[in-house]
Every structure is written in structure tokens, then in C-alpha cells.
């Protein structure tokens, strides 16, 4: 579960600030610190995020790749919406302590307080914490490697033993101009992996509150 | 040797050896005072419950074994937002600080692995747990449509963010058989309002958390209970932030509250009754000798308490509280002796001889009345009987042997005056008898409504703060401490589990889901597990290929690979070792298992918790023979049993006391008319009590039974004295003595009415009513009924108002 959360958290890291910094020698500790510090500063400028996505789930139990399409919305400080559109319609929205989730097939909508559903609680706690791009904390739990500069490509390898049992690594790729996250990959220890490609990403566009209610 | 001669001789013997008499008396009293001052008073609810082999005694012992009865429950609550992190931090800090010797086994959540591991454990154990009904359900859903529905649901969830985390579960259990396990584990939810967060017990509103602890401190040990609570309060002050409210619920708080209340009551009662008596003496006696009369009951109190402490290891505070009643009784004998001696100052030895007969008979009838309580099944009633009997005996001895020497008049002239009371008797005798009969009829009519109250909570004082904390606990977590408990007992765990299963099969269809806590679905007996396993194996031997075919066929539609669900089939082939209590403990259910399985005295009891409502009680009453050995125990039922026991005791004791008193009266008077007249105050007092309590809807509790005995004992005393006075023309200022002793008794009981503790208060109210009716009936009704003889007696003796 945490691995999935991590993907979304990474989405909040603004990529535009990175492109000018991509120079050789970035994997040195001093350069990493400087780079992450700039990302953290840039994160404070993001007030909203809107993005379409395509999720590819490569699972050994499936003959075909499981493909789903959807939209992701974030609004500072404590609102987000994760919405699947195809082939199933489902999702959840969080507005502060209130949340709802829905299932298109059954037509059921459930309203609840965030703490009542542990998965959503964990998800939102992490998203809102990551909105501040706390790389210090991140580096305590993951070994972060910068793989490339065009586009920016980060690899995060877990260091906690419990996480290492199921998670091999993450990859986060930014767009060519590094203005937004382009793709996230979660590689599991068993070989399965999930890739989410984001497109039509718009930063700081006005988002109606009704999206999150 | 006639009685009056004996006491005359004793008086004469000591009249020349007064120093010896005074010294011996003083020494005895001082010794008793010293013993009295060292008594360790206890307040133990057990003393108010039967200790024999009765149904109530057994139920009480079993109730003590119900989950949480002996636990210390601590609720931490925090107002404001729903963020539980601060609350849980406080829980951890407080739990960490709660140490031996006051707390052991401090639990803040399940001790085992996390909920996911329990979940997977449950899946692995399905062969042992699946019942015939489960088999039926599996077969019903093992169709193309059924499997398609499951796979579609699974497919949709794989798209969701948690899909990756769930895929392993889906491969192991594509047919969602796990839901059967989840249904079973719902029967283990011992605290209805609880959920788990980071392995902590937390309420569904996120604002309350629980700590459950054991303590070696006995609930009845007031000294250590006080230390425990003080220690806990210091811990809370030191480690819990001010915005978190902490309340501790345990029997210790009740014990302390009751003990403190009774101790305060005893002080107030004794002070008030002593002051009231002093006032009565100042009004009616006003001599130095009167001071010694006053000292008799005080000495008797010390003697009785010391005597009880020599017989019993612990003395109940209620017993000592009853001292006020004893003061009222003990002073009666002293008063009669005082008035006799003062009235016949020229011949004190003769006066003692004369008064000794009615006094001894009064004492003996009261002793006899109290002696029936020695056969009570309630330790508190037996202790009260011993206390009263020692006190009454001591009072008789002091009054008849020592007191006459202290109160004798020295050349004081006794002035006889006519009493206004005599006019009243003469003028109004018909009216008195008429009014008395009318009152008796009304009281008998209202008395028919008298009910018996066996609820022990009604004779215990529960301070508002404890009441509020209990209510909050109930509202937040459900009434998990108020469930009825069904005990199934066996020589070993397996036999107890077998009966427990039968009980579950009987009750589960009839009790709403979520209202019953039982081990049966999760821990069947080994025999049942083998049966379940055979059934499971048989099912999958026959249907394994069908399941495989359906999963491949329907899975293809959603893109599942042919081997996607191979882990499920591997699991079906795996052996499933038997589930044991130890397994369950390791799986994180240790607290629940330990709460529901009790091993003691080479036997094992398995507990089932059900709502304490009449419907469930009725179900248990209708159970068949195979469940005859299980025992249903609940607070409500227990109250009913105690009510019934009180009712039976009441009838039994009243009847026995009446028989004994009548026999003694027969021996004394040898005249049926006199016996009946002497019983007038008793009948009046009892009927008045029943009438008023029945009319006002006040339930008769176990202390009212003691009070009723007291009314018999005291009432008959008044009757004996007045009948003796009228029939024998004795010259000992009887009416005045009865009147003053009645006032002193009322002073004692009047003080009891001021008690805050329900037990003492109820004794006070009952006896106040009873004696309040007995005194006027002795002073007015007996003379009115016995008018002719009374006329004769008063011509020879002018008494009322004499000094």
C-alpha cells in the first residue's frame, strides 16, 4: 500500500525547477542536498495540480497489462481527488477530515471521515506531508539516485527491511522541460510493476471546491 | 432461685464491694475500648451476599469470573479534532508508567501480530472452521455466474491504488472464502465500540482510547486501594497532558467510596445520636446517676465491637454503623433499671429484683429475635446478629449489676405526680383502639404492595463522578462490562468447547449479529475441527476441478492467466493443523482467549457473553437437556435471585422470630391475652413499616430485613414492660421508662436516617417507622385494650411524669 502512496506523493514534487540543475556530479551528497532543497522550496509554490493519467499494471497473474485511465487533482492544503474513469469508474476524494468514495458499477457512494478508512488516512497523511517535499525524511528511508537529466529521472531504493520485502525500487521521470512529473514506476520484488504516465498536467489552475466534496 | 431474688442478692453482695465492681467494670470497658480502637474496618460486598451453596452464592462467584470484572479499566478521552496521535502517545506513556506493585499486565491493544497476519491465519485455518452451512454457501456460489461476479469485483479492485497490495490475497482466495472467516471473527469482538489503530484500542469516534490492566490489590483492601488510586493520580498528573481526560473504573473506587461514606456516616450518626441522647437525659433524668445511664450504651458499643472483632477476622463498617441502633436498644435496659431504682430509692435491692424480670425478658426476647439472623446465609446479617447479641447481653449485665449502684438515690425524695397522660388514656381509649385498628387495616392494605429489592447497587453508594465515568464508558465502548455470561464447564477444555458449540448453535440464530461473543466459531472442539476438515476435504476433492475450470474460464474474460490462482489450489492441498487456544493467543487474540477460557479447580470454563436482557434469559430458560449443565449468570438475574432470597429470608426470619418471641412470652406470662397484648407494639410497628414502604413503593432490601427483626425485638420489649406494669402493678415508672427509652431509640435511628449510605439509611427509615408506631401503641393502645386492669394498676402506682 505504501508503495502506491509513494507514487502519488512524488507527483507533488515540481519538476520544472530541476532542469537547470541537471549537471554531472549531482549524485554527490552536497549537490543532492542543494537540489532537493530547491525542489522543496519550489513545492511551496504549487497550490493546485490537475493531471490525466494512464496506469499500466504489469502483473504476473494477468495475461494482459491492466490498463486504467483516470484523473488526479490536488489542492493545497488538504484536498485531493483520485478518479478512475476506464475501464472501471471508481475513486475517492478527500476534503480535510471528510472523505467520500464511490463505485461506478454499483453506484454506491460512501461518505466518511478520513480516519475511518486506514488506507485513505495513510494515503492522505503522506500526500499532505509530501506537499512540503521533505527530502531529509525521504533520504532517511530511501537511497535516492539521479539517473538522468533529460528528462530528470530519479530512482529511490528502500532502506527499511520491511519495505524491502515487497518493494525493489521506484522510478520517477519528469517531463523534458521538468515542469511536471511524467511517469512513475513502482517495481516490486516479485517482478510485477506498475507504471503511471501523467499527461495534460496543469499546475496552479483554479480547481472548484466541489471536486473534493 | 427466682430471678428477682438473684439480682437482689447480687446487688446486696456488691453493695459492700463497690470498688471491686467498679474496678472490674472499668477494666473490662477500657480493654474493649482498646480493642475497638484497633479494629480494621472493611467494606466488602461479599459480606452482603450468601456464602452458602445457594444459587445466589454460586452466581456471585461466577460473576466474579466474567471478563473485566477484576480488571482496572482506564479510559483516556480527548475533545476536539479527530487526530488520535496525541491521544495514543498519552496512552503509551501512561501504560509505560503503570508499574508493579500496583499494576501488572498493562494492555493497550492486541499483543499479537497485526490484523493482516490474523487475516491470513484465518484463511489458512478455513478447513478447521468451515461448517456445514459454509459448505452449502460455497457450493451455492460455485457456478459460472458466482465465480464471474467474484472475479469482476477483484478485477475492479486491482485497478485501484490498493490493488497491488491486494493481489496476493486475491491469488490465495479468488472465491472470497475469507468472508466466512471474517464473519466468524466478529463473534470475538468483546468490546463493541472498539477499533484498532496502530495496535491500540480506540473508539470509533477516535476520541477515546482504552488501557486494561490487572492489579494484585484486592478490591476489598481499602488501604491498598487508596494507595493504588493515589499512585495512579500522580502518574496521570505526571505523564498525561492536561487536555486529555483520564478516568479509572474498577471495584476499588466503589469500595473506597462506600467505605469513606460509611465512615463519615458512622461519625455523624454516633455524634448526632449521642448528642440527642444527652439532650433526652438532660430533659428526663437530670441527675448524676443519669450520666451513668448514658455511659451504658457507649460502653456496650465498645464491648460489642470488641466481641465481634474477636470472632471475625474483619469487621464490616456497616456493622459498626449499626452501633447507633445498638445504642438505642442498650440504653433501654439501663433506663428501666434507672427509673426503677430511682423510683424506689428506699429499697434499691428490691427494685432491682422487681425490674430484673421484665428487663431480662425484654433482653431475652430481643436476643431471641436477633438469634434467628445467625442462620442467615448472608455474612453481614450474621455479623450484625453477633454484634447485637453481644451488645444486648452486655447491656443487661451492666444495667442489672453495675448500674444500680451508680444510680441509686441518696436521700432523694421521689415526687409522684399525676400525669396528664392518664386523662388521655381514660378519655380516649375507644377512639384510640378505633384509630389504631383503622391504621392497621390501611397499613395491611398498602403493605400488600411491598416489593423486595435485590439490586445490590441500591444498597451501595455510587458517587456521581463514578456514575458519570461508568456511563461514559458504556456510551463509548458499549456495555461490555454489563453482559450476561454463560458458563460451560468441562473436566477439560475439549469437553467445555463441545458444550460451548452446542450453546452457540442454539443461541446464534436467535441473537442479533454483533451482540454475542463466543469462541465457538473460531475455536471449535477438536472433534468438530476434524469433522469440518473432513467436510472441507470432501468438498474440494469433489469440486476442485470444477473450481479450477470456472476460474480459468471466467478469468480469461478479465485477462487472468491460467495459473493466476494456483496459490489457491496449493492452499487447498496444504494440511491444516488443529486450532488450539495457544494458536489463538499467538495470532493476536490472547486477551480475548484468556478472558473467555478460565481454568480453575481442575475444571475448565468457557464463557459466552450475551446481552443481559429478558429475551435472552427466557431463551436460556427454554434450553434443552443437552445444555442443562450450562449456567446463565447476569446482573439482572442475580438481582432477581437476591430479591427472591431476601423475600424468602424475610418470611423465614419474621416467622422464626415471631415463634421464638411468642414462646418466650408464653413462658413469661402463661396467659394468651397478655401475650397478645405484648405483641401489639410488634404488630403495629411491622404493619406500619410495610404499609408506608408498600404505599410509597420503597423496596425491601436485605438491611430492611434486619430492621424488621429489630422492630420485633424492641416492640415486644415495650409490650412486655407495659403489660407487666399493668398486670402486676409493678412500681417502676414503666410508662416513663418506655417513653424515654423509645425517644432514645428514635434518636439512634433518627441519626441513621441522616446517613448517606443507602444501607444505613434504609435501616434508619425502617426502624424509625416501626418504632415510631410501636411506642405509641405500647403506651396508648395496650392500656386502652387492657383498660380495666390498667385502672387498677394506676390507682396503686402513679408514674407518668414522676421524677
Chain A interface mutation, best of B85, B115, B159, highest count of A Cβ atoms under 10 Å: B159
Task: Please give the distance of CA A7 from its chain centroid, rounded to a whole number.
Answer: 3
- Closest chain B residue to the Cα of A196, Cα to Cα: B161
* Grid cell for residue B588: 493476536
Decide: B189 and B96 in contact? Cβ < 8 Å. no
State mean pLDDT over B97-107.
Answer: 87
Tally the residues of chain B: 803
State mean pLDDT over B403-425.
Answer: 55
Those residues with Cβ within 8 angstroms of residue B546's Cβ, 6 or more apart along the chain or in another chain: B142
| pLDDT confidence of residue A20 | 41
Closest Cα to residue B725, out of B667, B637, B797? B797
For residue A183, give the H/E element and its range: strand A181-188
Task: State the smallest CA–CA distance between residue B565 and chain A in angstroms.
Answer: 8
- Closest chain A residue to the Cα of B207, Cα to Cα: A115
Task: State the smallest CA–CA distance between residue A35 and chain B in angstroms.
Answer: 29
Decide: B207 and B44 in contact? Cβ < 8 Å. no
* A203 dihedral zone (left: phi>0; alpha: psi -120 to 50; beta): beta
Decide: B362 and B274 in contact? Cβ < 8 Å. no
Q: Inter-chain contact A188–B164, Cβ cutoff 8 Å?
A: yes
The reply to whether B113 touches chain A by the CB within 8 Å rule is: no
Q: Inter-chain contact A8–B161, Cβ cutoff 8 Å?
A: yes
Please state whether beta strands B244-249 and B72-78 pair in parallel, antiparallel, or not at all (unpaired): antiparallel
- Chain A residues with CB under 8 Å of B82 CB are 97, 113, 115
Three-class secondary structure of residue B40 per DSSP = coil
- Chain B residues with CB under 8 Å of A116 CB are 204
Q: Cα–Cα distance between B186 and A203 in angstroms, integer?
A: 47
* Torsion sign, CA atoms A23, A25, A31, A32: positive
* Grid cell for residue B104: 501488572
For residue B49, pLDDT over 60 is answered with yes
CA distances from A55 to A71, A76, A186, A200, B155 (A): 10, 24, 11, 14, 14
* Grid cell for residue A73: 487533482
Q: How many CB atoms lie within 10 A of CB A68?
A: 21
For residue A213, pLDDT over 50 is answered with yes
pLDDT, tens only, B258-296 = 778 877 887 888 788 778 877 887 787 777 777 788 788
| pLDDT confidence of residue A52 | 93
- In this structure, of B120-124, B306-310, B670-674, B797-801, the range with the lowest mean pLDDT score is B797-801
Decide: B98 and B517 in contact? Cβ < 8 Å. no
Concatenate the DSSP letters of all residues of B43-92 into one string: --GGGGS--SSSHHHHHHHHHTTSTTTTSEEEEEEE-SSS--HHHHHHHH
Provide the 8-state DSSP code for B452: B
- Chain A residues with CB under 8 Å of B162 CB are 1, 4, 119
Kindly indicate the confidence band of residue A2, based on its pLDDT and cuts at 50, 70 and 90. very low
State mean pLDDT over A141-145.
Answer: 83
Kindly indicate the confidence band of residue B17, based on its pLDDT and cuts at 50, 70 and 90. confident
Q: What angle do CA B715, B720, B724 make, to 5 degrees?
A: 155
For residue A10, pLDDT over 50 is answered with no
CA distances from B14 to B20, B22, B23, B344 (A): 8, 10, 12, 18
Kindly indicate the confidence band of residue A67, based on its pLDDT and cuts at 50, 70 and 90. very high
Nearest Cβ partner of A113 from B82, B155, B158?
B82
- Third-level CATH fold of B72-114+199-249: Alpha-Beta Plaits (3.30.70)
Three-class secondary structure of residue B513 per DSSP = coil
Decide: B748 and B324 in contact? Cβ < 8 Å. yes
pLDDT, tens only, B427-461 = 467 778 888 888 889 888 888 888 777 666 666 66
For residue B449, give the H/E element and its range: none
Q: Inter-chain contact B163–A57, Cβ cutoff 8 Å?
A: yes
Q: How many CB atoms lie within 10 A of CB B342?
A: 24
The reply to whether B78 touches chain A by the CB within 8 Å rule is: no
Q: Inter-chain contact A82–B161, Cβ cutoff 8 Å?
A: yes
pLDDT, tens only, B491-550 = 999 999 999 999 999 999 999 888 899 999 999 999 999 999 999 999 999 999 999 999
For residue B50, pLDDT over 50 is answered with yes
The reply to whether B159 touches chain A by the CB within 8 Å rule is: yes
Q: Cα–Cα distance between B252 and B217 in angstroms, integer?
A: 9
| CATH 3.30.70.1440 location in chain B | 72-114+199-249
Q: Inter-chain contact B161–A123, Cβ cutoff 8 Å?
A: yes
- Closest chain A residue to the Cα of B567, Cα to Cα: A61
Q: Inter-chain contact B159–A61, Cβ cutoff 8 Å?
A: no
- Closest chain B residue to the Cα of A66, Cα to Cα: B159
Nearest Cβ partner of B560 from A57, A62, A186?
A62
Q: What's the number of CA atoms in the CB half-sphere (13 Å) around residue B436? A: 24
What's the maximum distance between 2 C-alpha atoms anywhere in chain A? 53
Q: Cα–Cα distance between B52 and B492 in angstroms, integer?
A: 26
| pLDDT confidence of residue A132 | 64
Q: Inter-chain contact A55–B564, Cβ cutoff 8 Å?
A: no
CA distances from B723 to A7, A178, B790 (A): 102, 116, 9
Q: Cα–Cα distance between B146 and B155 in angstroms, integer?
A: 14
- Closest chain A residue to the Cα of B171, Cα to Cα: A61
Q: Cα–Cα distance between B39 and B317 in angstroms, integer?
A: 10
The reply to whether B346 touches chain A by the CB within 8 Å rule is: no
- Closest chain B residue to the Cα of A89, Cα to Cα: B156
- Chain B residues with CB under 8 Å of A90 CB are 156, 159-160
Burial of A168 (0-12, 13-18, 19+ CB in 10 A): middle
Side by side, which strands form the sheet with A79-86? A108-113, A98-103, A90-95, A79-86, A66-75, A48-58, A193-203, A181-188, A167-174, A152-158, A142-149
Q: Inter-chain contact B159–A188, Cβ cutoff 8 Å?
A: no
Closest Cα to residue A175, out of A45, A16, A52? A16
* Torsion sign, CA atoms B621, B623, B628, B634: negative
- In this structure, of B360-374, B679-693, B743-757, the range with the lowest mean pLDDT score is B743-757
Between A73 and B204, the more confident residue is A73
The reply to whether B561 touches chain A by the CB within 8 Å rule is: yes
| pLDDT confidence of residue B415 | 41
- Chain A residues with CB under 8 Å of B86 CB are none
- Chain B residues with CB under 8 Å of A84 CB are 159-160
Q: Cα–Cα distance between B801 and B39 in angstroms, integer?
A: 42
Nearest Cβ partner of B160 from A3, A84, A87?
A84
Q: Inter-chain contact A115–B206, Cβ cutoff 8 Å?
A: yes
- Closest chain A residue to the Cα of B169, Cα to Cα: A61
Chain B interface mutation, best of A4, A56, A61, highest count of B Cβ atoms under 10 Å: A61
Decide: B472 and B75 in contact? Cβ < 8 Å. yes
Chains A, B: CB contacts under 8 A, how many? 74
The reply to whether B552 touches chain A by the CB within 8 Å rule is: no
| pLDDT confidence of residue A129 | 60
| pLDDT confidence of residue B148 | 94
- Chain A residues with CB under 8 Å of B208 CB are none
Those residues with Cβ within 8 angstroms of residue B670's Cβ, 6 or more apart along the chain or in another chain: none
Decide: B733 and B340 in contact? Cβ < 8 Å. yes
Nearest Cβ partner of A61 from B83, B171, B204?
B171
For residue B202, give the H/E element and its range: strand B200-203
Decide: A16 and A205 in contact? Cβ < 8 Å. no
- Chain B residues with CB under 8 Å of A62 CB are 158, 559-561, 564
State mean pLDDT over B546-565.
Answer: 92
Three-class secondary structure of residue B214 per DSSP = strand
* Grid cell for residue B283: 430533659
Task: Provide long-range contacts, Cβ within 8 A and 24+ apart, for A79-82.
Answer: A79/A209, A79/A211, A79/A212, A80/A124, A80/A127, A80/A212, A81/A211, A81/A212, A82/A8, A82/B161
pLDDT, tens only, B115-157 = 667 778 888 889 999 999 999 999 999 999 999 999 998 998 8
Average pLDDT score over chain B: 82
For residue B456, give the H/E element and its range: none
Closest Cα to residue B766, out of B447, B457, B291? B447
Please state whether beta strands B200-203 and B41-42 pair in parallel, antiparallel, or not at all (unpaired): unpaired
The contact set of A with B (CB < 8 A) is: 1, 3-5, 8, 55, 57, 59-64, 66, 68, 82, 84, 87-88, 90, 97, 103, 105, 113, 115-116, 118-119, 123, 186, 188, 192, 194
Whether omega before A151 lies within 30 degrees of 0, making that bond cis, reads yes
Three-class secondary structure of residue A187 per DSSP = strand
Nearest Cβ partner of A1 from B158, B162, B564?
B162
For residue B297, pLDDT over 90 is answered with no
CA distances from B167 to A84, A128, B107, B120, B213 (A): 18, 27, 34, 13, 39
Q: What angle do CA B475, B479, B485 make, to 5 degrees?
A: 180
Task: State the smallest CA–CA distance between residue B552 and chain A in angstroms.
Answer: 11
| pLDDT confidence of residue B499 | 93
Please state whether beta strands A90-95 and B597-600 pair in parallel, antiparallel, or not at all (unpaired): unpaired
* CATH class held by domain B2-46+255-458+638-793: mainly alpha
Q: Inter-chain contact B559–A66, Cβ cutoff 8 Å?
A: yes
- In this structure, of A73-87, B324-338, B375-389, B469-483, the range with the lowest mean pLDDT score is B324-338
Whether omega before B486 lies within 30 degrees of 0, making that bond cis, reads no
- In this structure, of B43-52, B195-204, B309-318, B670-679, the range with the lowest mean pLDDT score is B43-52
State mean pLDDT over A35-59.
Answer: 81
Structure ipTM: 0.83
For residue A92, give the H/E element and its range: strand A90-95
pLDDT, tens only, B315-367 = 777 677 666 667 777 788 888 888 888 877 777 888 888 888 888 888 888 88
For residue A50, pLDDT over 60 is answered with yes
For residue B607, pLDDT over 90 is answered with yes
For residue A146, give the H/E element and its range: strand A142-149
For residue B461, give the H/E element and its range: none
Tally the residues of chain A: 213
The reply to whether B111 touches chain A by the CB within 8 Å rule is: no
For residue B594, pLDDT over 80 is answered with yes
Amino acid at each position: 500500500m505504501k508503495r502506491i502512496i509513494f507514487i502519488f506523493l512524488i507527483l507533488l514534487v515540481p519538476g520544472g525547477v530541476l532542469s537547470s540543475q541537471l549537471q554531472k556530479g549531482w549524485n554527490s551528497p552536497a549537490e543532492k542536498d542543494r537540489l532537493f532543497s530547491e525542489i522543496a522550496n519550489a513545492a511551496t509554490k504549487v497550490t493546485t495540480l490537475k493531471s490525466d493519467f494512464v496506469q499500466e499494471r504489469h502483473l504476473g497473474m494477468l495475461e494482459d497489462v491492466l490498463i486504467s485511465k483516470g484523473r488526479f487533482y490536488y489542492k493545497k492544503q488538504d484536498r485531493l481527488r483520485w478518479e478512475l474513469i476506464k475501464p472501471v469508474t471508481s475513486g475517492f476524494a478527500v476534503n480535510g477530515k471528510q472523505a467520500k468514495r464511490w463505485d461506478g458499477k454499483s453506484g454506491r457512494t460512501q461518505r466518511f471521515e478520513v480516519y475511518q478508512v486506514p488506507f485513505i488516512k495513510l494515503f492522505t497523511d503522506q500526500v499532505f506531508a509530501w506537499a512540503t517535499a521533505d527530502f531529509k525524511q525521504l533520504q532517511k528511508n530511501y537511497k535516492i539516485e539521479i539517473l538522468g537529466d533529460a528528462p530528470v529521472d530519479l530512482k529511490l531504493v528502500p532502506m527499511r527491511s520491511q519495505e524491502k520485502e515487497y518493494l525493489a525500487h521506484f522510478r520517477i521521470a519528469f517531463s523534458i522541460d521538468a515542469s511536471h512529473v511524467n511517469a512513475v514506476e513502482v517495481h516490486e520484488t516479485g517482478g510485477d510493476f506498475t507504471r503511471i504516465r501523467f499527461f495534460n498536467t496543469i499546475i496552479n489552475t483554479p480547481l472548484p471546491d466541489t471536486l473534493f466534496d | 432461685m427466682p430471678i428477682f431474688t438473684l439480682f437482689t442478692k447480687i446487688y446486696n453482695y456488691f453493695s459492700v464491694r463497690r470498688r471491686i465492681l467498679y474496678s472490674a467494670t472499668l477494666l473490662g470497658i477500657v480493654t474493649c475500648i482498646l480493642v475497638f480502637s484497633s479494629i480494621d474496618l472493611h467494606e466488602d460486598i461479599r459480606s452482603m451476599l450468601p456464602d452458602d451453596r445457594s444459587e445466589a452464592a454460586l452466581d456471585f462467584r461466577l460473576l466474579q469470573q466474567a471478563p473485566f470484572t477484576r480488571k482496572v479499566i482506564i479510559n483516556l478521552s480527548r475533545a476536539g479534532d479527530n487526530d488520535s496521535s496525541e491521544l495514543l502517545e498519552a496512552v503509551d506513556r501512561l501504560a509505560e508508567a503503570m508499574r508493579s506493585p500496583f499494576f501488572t499486565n498493562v494492555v493497550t491493544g492486541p499483543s499479537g501480530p497485526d490484523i493482516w497476519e490474523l487475516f491470513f491465519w484465518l484463511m489458512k485455518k478455513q478447513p478447521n472452521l468451515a461448517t456445514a452451512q459454509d459448505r452449502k454457501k460455497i457450493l451455492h456460489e460455485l457456478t459460472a455466474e458466482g465465480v464471474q461476479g467474484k472475479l469482476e469485483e477483484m478485477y475492479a479492485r486491482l485497478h485501484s491504488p490498493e490493488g497491488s497490495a491486494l493481489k496476493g490475497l486475491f491469488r490465495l482466495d479468488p472465491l472470497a472464502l475469507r468472508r466466512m472467516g471474517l464473519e466468524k471473527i466478529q463473534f470475538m469482538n468483546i468490546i463493541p465500540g472498539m477499533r484498532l489503530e496502530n495496535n491500540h484500542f480506540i473508539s470509533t469516534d477516535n476520541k477515546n482510547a482504552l488501557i486494561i490492566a490487572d492489579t494484585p490489590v484486592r478490591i476489598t483492601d481499602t488501604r491498598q486501594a487508596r494507595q493504588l488510586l493515589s499512585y495512579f493520580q500522580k502518574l496521570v498528573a505526571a505523564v498525561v497532558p492536561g487536555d486529555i481526560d483520564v478516568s479509572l473504573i474498577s471495584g476499588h473506587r466503589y469500595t473506597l467510596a462506600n467505605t469513606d461514606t460509611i465512615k463519615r456516616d458512622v461519625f455523624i450518626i454516633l455524634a448526632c445520636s449521642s448528642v440527642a441522647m444527652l439532650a433526652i437525659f438532660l430533659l428526663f433524668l437530670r441527675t448524676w446517676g443519669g450520666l451513668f445511664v448514658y455511659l451504658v450504651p457507649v460502653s456496650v458499643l465498645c464491648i460489642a465491637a470488641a466481641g465481634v472483632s474477636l470472632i471475625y477476622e474483619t469487621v464490616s463498617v456497616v456493622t459498626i454503623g449499626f452501633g447507633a441502633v445498638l445504642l438505642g436498644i442498650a440504653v433501654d435496659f439501663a433506663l428501666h433499671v434507672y427509673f426503677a431504682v430511682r423510683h424506689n430509692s428506699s429499697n434499691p435491692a428490691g427494685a432491682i429484683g422487681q425490674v430484673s424480670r421484665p428487663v431480662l425478658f425484654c433482653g431475652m426476647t430481643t436476643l431471641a429475635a436477633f438469634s434467628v439472623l445467625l442462620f442467615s446465609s448472608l455474612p453481614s446479617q450474621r455479623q450484625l446478629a453477633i454484634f447485637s447479641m453481644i451488645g444486648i447481653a452486655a447491656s443487661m449485665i451492666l444495667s442489672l449489676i453495675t448500674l444500680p449502684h451508680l444510680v441509686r438515690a441518696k436521700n432523694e425524695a421521689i415526687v409522684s405526680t399525676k400525669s396528664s397522660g392518664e386523662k388521655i388514656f381514660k378519655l380516649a381509649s375507644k377512639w384510640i383502639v378505633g384509630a389504631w385498628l383503622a391504621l392497621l387495616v390501611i397499613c395491611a392494605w398498602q403493605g400488600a404492595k411491598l416489593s423486595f429489592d435485590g439490586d445490590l447497587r441500591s444498597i451501595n453508594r455510587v458517587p456521581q463522578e463514578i456514575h458519570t465515568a461508568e456511563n461514559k464508558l458504556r456510551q463509548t465502548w458499549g456495555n461490555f462490562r454489563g453482559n450476561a455470561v454463560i458458563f460451560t464447564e468441562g473436566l477439560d477444555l475439549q469437553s467445555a468447547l463441545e458444550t460451548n458449540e452446542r450453546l452457540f448453535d442454539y443461541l446464534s440464530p436467535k441473537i442479533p449479529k454483533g451482540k454475542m461473543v463466543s469462541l465457538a466459531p473460531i475455536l471449535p472442539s477438536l472433534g468438530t475441527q476434524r469433522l469440518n476438515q473432513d467436510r472441507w476435504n470432501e468438498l474440494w476433492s469433489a469440486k476442485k476441478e470444477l473450481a479450477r475450470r470456472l476460474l480459468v474460464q471466467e478469468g480469461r474474460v478479465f485477462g487472468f492467466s491460467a495459473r493466476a490462482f494456483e496459490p489457491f489450489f496449493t492452499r487447498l492441498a496444504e494440511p491444516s493443523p488443529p486450532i488450539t487456544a495457544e494458536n489463538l493467543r499467538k495470532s493476536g487474540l490472547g486477551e480475548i482467549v484468556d478472558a473467555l477460557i478460565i481454568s480453575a479447580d481442575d475444571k475448565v470454563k468457557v464463557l459466552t457473553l450475551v446481552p443481559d436482557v429478558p429475551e435472552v434469559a427466557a431463551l436460556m430458560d427454554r434450553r434443552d437437556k443437552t445444555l442443562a449443565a450450562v449456567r446463565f449468570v447476569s446482573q439482572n438475574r442475580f438481582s432477581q435471585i437476591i430479591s427472591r432470597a431476601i423475600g424468602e429470608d424475610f418470611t423465614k426470619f419474621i416467622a422464626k422470630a415471631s415463634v421464638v418471641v411468642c414462646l418466650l412470652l408464653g413462658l413469661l406470662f402463661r396467659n394468651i391475652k397478655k401475650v397478645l397484648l405484648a405483641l401489639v407494639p410488634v404488630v403495629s410497628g411491622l404493619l406500619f413499616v410495610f404499609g408506608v414502604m408498600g404505599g410509597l413503593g420503597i423496596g425491601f432490601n436485605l438491611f430492611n430485613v434486619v430492621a424488621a427483626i429489630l422492630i420485633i425485638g424492641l416492640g415486644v420489649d415495650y409490650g412486655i414492660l407495659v403489660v407487666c406494669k399493668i398486670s402486676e402493678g409493678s412500681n417502676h415508672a414503666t410508662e416513663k421508662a418506655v417513653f424515654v427509652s423509645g425517644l432514645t431509640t428514635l434518636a439512634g435511628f433518627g441519626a441513621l436516617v441522616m446517613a448517606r449510605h443507602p444501607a444505613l439509611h434504609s435501616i434508619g427509615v425502617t426502624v424509625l417507622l416501626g418504632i415510631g408506631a410501636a411506642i405509641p401503641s405500647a403506651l396508648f393502645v395496650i392500656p386502652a385494650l387492657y383498660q380495666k386492669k390498667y385502672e387498677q394498676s394506676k390507682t396503686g402506682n402513679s408514674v407518668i411524669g414522676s421524677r
